[in-house]
């Protein structure tokens, strides 16, 4: 195999691998959780669960449960009246 063909093949394969990897970095994952009080571990309903810097979020149900989609590395912000705001990596 000539050097030009080998270089072209390596470039093409490298480019193809990079194109397949890019969508993997932007994929979102489902996050499920339950918000409870530190004091007595009871569920806290009505907590705003938001991805920092976006408008994406959810509110906990009566049992403190929530579900939303986020990208790896997103910071989750929990906030509710009467509680200290928390940031989760």
Helices and strands, counts by H and E, the chain = 1, 6
Residue 81 lies in a domain: yes
Question: What integer best gives the mean pLDDT of the chain?
Answer: 81
Q: Is residue 9 part of a domain?
A: no
Quote the domain boundaries for residue 71: 28-88
For residue 6, tell me if it sits in a domain. no
Supply the CATH number for residue 56's domain: 2.60.40.1120
Whole-model pTM? 0.69
In this structure, what token pair is assigned to residue 61?
């149900």
- Residue 49 within any structural domain of the chain: yes
Instruction: List Cβ neighbours of 4 (8 Å cut-off, separation of 6 or more).
Output: none
Give me the number of domains the chain comprises.
Answer: 1
Residue 13 lies in a domain: no
Q: Which helix (H) or strand (E) holds 67?
A: strand 65-70
Contacting residues for 78 by C-beta, under 8 A, at least 6 apart:
35, 47, 48, 49, 85, 86, 87, 88
The pLDDT value recorded for residue 9 is 59
**Residue 2 falls within a domain, yes or no?**
no
pLDDT one-digit tens code per residue, 63-77: 999 999 998 889 999
């Amino acid at each position: 195999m000539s050097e030009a063909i080998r270089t072209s093949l390596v470039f093409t394969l490298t480019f193809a691998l990079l194109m397949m990897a890019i969508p993997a970095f932007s994929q979102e994952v489902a996050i499920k959780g339950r918000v409870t009080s530190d004091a007595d571990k009871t569920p806290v309903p009505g907590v705003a669960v938001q991805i920092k810097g976006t408008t994406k979020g959810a509110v906990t149900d009566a049992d403190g449960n929530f579900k939303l989609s986020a990208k790896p590395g997103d910071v989750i912000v929990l906030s509710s009246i009467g509680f200290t705001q928390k940031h989760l990596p």
